[in-house]
Structure 1
Amino acid sequence: MNDTDSDKPGILDRARGALLGLAVGDALGSSLEFGPRVSPPLARREMTGGGPFNLPVGCWTDDTALSIGLGKSLVACRKFDPLDAAQRFLAYYREGEYSSVPGTCVDIGATTRQALERFERTGNPYSGSTDEHSSGNGSVMRLASVGIFTLDVPVEEAIRIAQAQSRLTHGSAVCLDGCSYLVQLLRLVLQGVEDPLVLALPRFEGHPDILRAKTALWGGVERRHVKPGGDCADTIHASLWSCANAPSFEHAVTLACNLGFDADTTACVAGAIAGAKFGAEAIPARWLEPLAQRHRIGTLALSLVRSSSDIYLYGA
């Protein structure tokens, strides 16, 4: 890292916060996944387990598992290696590798599943559909690992890696631009930037859906207009709205969970952003203590930070 020693603890805490916050949001939201919007906005705020996958308390879904797989690939290869990352994703799908329930694939999106099956048949890791109708949130949900790993490289390199990892499963323009925007935002939050106008990246030029999504940071968006669906742009908008209207990590993730529908992914992305902002120390102990594999996740975050100053730049 380029930071001074006095700054390092802050960055380490924020990096742990991003990855642990992602997993906490996933575990909390999994019990509300596919359900209706909950009112009042902060009604459900305990980690209960259950949900459509009947998970034990503290267990999480594919959002966290694939984030871990990607993070481990980045650390092991010291760069983004598309073949290695795709093989790790496939290992989760086929064998339950990285799962909170060992040996079990706890959910996987249709677009991701189809891409991995194409990879199995063809050997081409870049098997994500480029169809605009396949613009789900499966690649933005795993970006925290990229944001941490690329802290010490030029932003252009971070964008290339973010978009390349998206192309493994989601190759549409919306998904690529969504990953480009979100990795830039995550890097800024990890670096301690909190100004919402800065985080909105006014100079960001991308797909109109992503440009609309980032307006959630400007305030004034009513809850009834937030759509927490499985679409990439909707997920970014809903997670930003949750963070923009919250004074704490707990508040942000609770707002995201109670939006319902694709609650685990909305809360996963919101948890990564809020965790990067407030740090791991701000995550409530009652959520963190039952979290599956919390020590391994925290250790992976630290490994990603340490790898960020010693990586091979991504070229192809």
Structure 2
Amino acid sequence: MHYDDPHQSCNTQHEEHNMEDRSRGTLIGLAVGDALGAAVEFQSPGSFPPVTGYRGGGPHPIEPGAWTDDTSMALALADSIADVGWDLNDQAERYVQWWKTGRYSVNGRCFDIGMTIRRALGEFSVNGNALTSGDSHEYASGNGSIMRLAPVPMRYAELFESDLAEFSRLAEESSLPTHPSEQCRDACRYLACVLAALIRGEPRDDVLAADWQTLQQLNAIKPLHPLVQEIADGSFRRRQPPEIEGSGWVIRSLEAALWAFHDADSFEEAVLKAVNLGDDADTTGAVCGQLAGACWGESNIPSSLRAGLVRRDMLELALTKLLE
């Protein structure tokens, strides 16, 4: 499998095309991983026939290729950034619209929402302040903010290059409306940097290395939470299932996605490894899909997986607005 080499000589137009392909792949990859995992969400690993493509059913009976809350919230975040710039209250308001009216949903209704997010959006509906609506306790460290993160590195990839402190602040802030715990905020900081670097064409092995220069700079801005740092140091290389698990906890979720991604030979191999961990399969798939899509680009996502996505028009609209 070919990886783009950021050091190879190429004209600007060609490199811009590659960046656009990888950026589009980040959001489409999120939706593909989400849709692949939807049918086996909450099932124990090994208790279901291995996922090899889209299938219907699952805990929220939906058609093959339909996606869940991960993609809906990413679309809401993308819409907010494209329409009004950076505004946490606007982001939260669009999440509320998804929750209460089904806007951004694949089927026009909110059918899959985590308890932490529901509580946070309920609080926001009362107080209107996204800075205080979420539960900051460590026990509320779910994976609901890393699952939707793609629009941040997609829109602000150039800021990643020019002002890492500001870029990491935006990534961290994106977690606040629903997941303000330190674990969640720092998982967003780290994952956003990895995604932006991949979008910009940095080699996967460099980006995931424990001595990655950007990781050192990120820690100089503010040290990562020790559990996030353990992942960045390479815990995903040293562990195998059942230690690697598709858990709803942000730490295990990020670790599992990186485990599936770090040595895969293709987008498809990575996301299938992720969703076949079971449990919170749609979100493990969504996080891994962001990574794999940013690495290999939309053009290397199998055409059957792209064509099989339900409501692809919603993704295309978000991509057009976000990347224009």
Residue 182 in structure 1 maps to residue 208 in structure 2: no
The Cα shift of 1:18 comes to: 0.6
The Cα shift of 1:218 comes to: 6.6
Residue number in structure 2 paired with 1:312: none
Q: Which moved more, 1:297-306 or 1:245-254?
A: 297-306
Q: Deviations over 1:131-179 (max 9, x none)?
A: 0100000011111110101112122222111111200001101011111
The Cα shift of 1:299 comes to: 4.1
Aligned pairs (5 A) from 1:5-84: 5-38=13-46, 43-77=50-84, 79-84=85-90
Aligned amino acid, residue 283 of structure 1 = I
TM-score, with length taken from structure 1: 0.90
CA distance in 2, matches of 1:196, 1:217: 14
CA distance in 2, matches of 1:147, 1:235: 19
Q: What are the ranges of 5 or more consecutive residues in structure 2 without an aligned counterpart?
A: 1-10
Q: Is the 8 A contact 1:144 1:272 kept in 2?
A: yes
Residue 267 in structure 1 maps to residue 285 in structure 2: yes
Residue 151 in structure 1 maps to residue 157 in structure 2: yes
> Identity of paired residues, percent?
37
Residue 249 in structure 1 maps to residue 258 in structure 2: no
Question: Per the alignment, in what secondary structure is the counterpart of residue 13 of structure 2?
Answer: coil
Aligned pairs (5 A) from 1:1-316: 4-38=12-46, 43-77=50-84, 79-102=85-108, 104-126=109-131, 127-153=133-159, 154-200=163-209, 201=212, 202-203=215-216, 204=219, 205-216=223-234, 219-306=237-324
Aligned amino acid, residue 125 of structure 1 = A
Aligned amino acid, residue 192 of structure 1 = G
Residue number in structure 2 paired with 1:310: none
Deviant stretches of 4+, over 6 Å: none
Residue number in structure 2 paired with 1:311: none
How many pairs does the alignment contain? 301
CA distance in 1, matches of 2:234, 2:303: 29
Q: Provide the aligned C-alpha RMSD in A.
A: 1.8
CA distance in 1, matches of 2:120, 2:173: 14
The Cα shift of 1:71 comes to: 0.3
Question: Per the alignment, in what secondary structure is the counterpart of residue 12 of structure 2?
Answer: coil
CA distance in 2, matches of 1:283, 1:218: 23
Q: Is the 8 A contact 1:15 1:302 kept in 2?
A: no
The Cα shift of 1:298 comes to: 3.3
Residue number in structure 2 paired with 1:313: none
Q: Is the 8 A contact 1:188 1:199 kept in 2?
A: no
TM-score, with length taken from structure 2: 0.88
> Judging changes above 3 Å, is the alpha-carbon distance between structure 1 residues 68 and 264 closer, same or farther for their aligned structure 2 residues?
same
CA distance in 1, matches of 2:207, 2:235: 10
The Cα shift of 1:38 comes to: 2.9
The Cα shift of 1:305 comes to: 2.8
The Cα shift of 1:217 comes to: 7.1
CA distance in 2, matches of 1:199, 1:302: 29
Q: Deviations over 1:169-199 (max 9, x none)?
A: 0110101111110100000010111242433
Q: Deviations over 1:215-239 (max 9, x none)?
A: 4477342232202110111111000
Aligned amino acid, residue 46 of structure 1 = G
CA distance in 2, matches of 1:227, 1:237: 8
Aligned amino acid, residue 189 of structure 2 = S
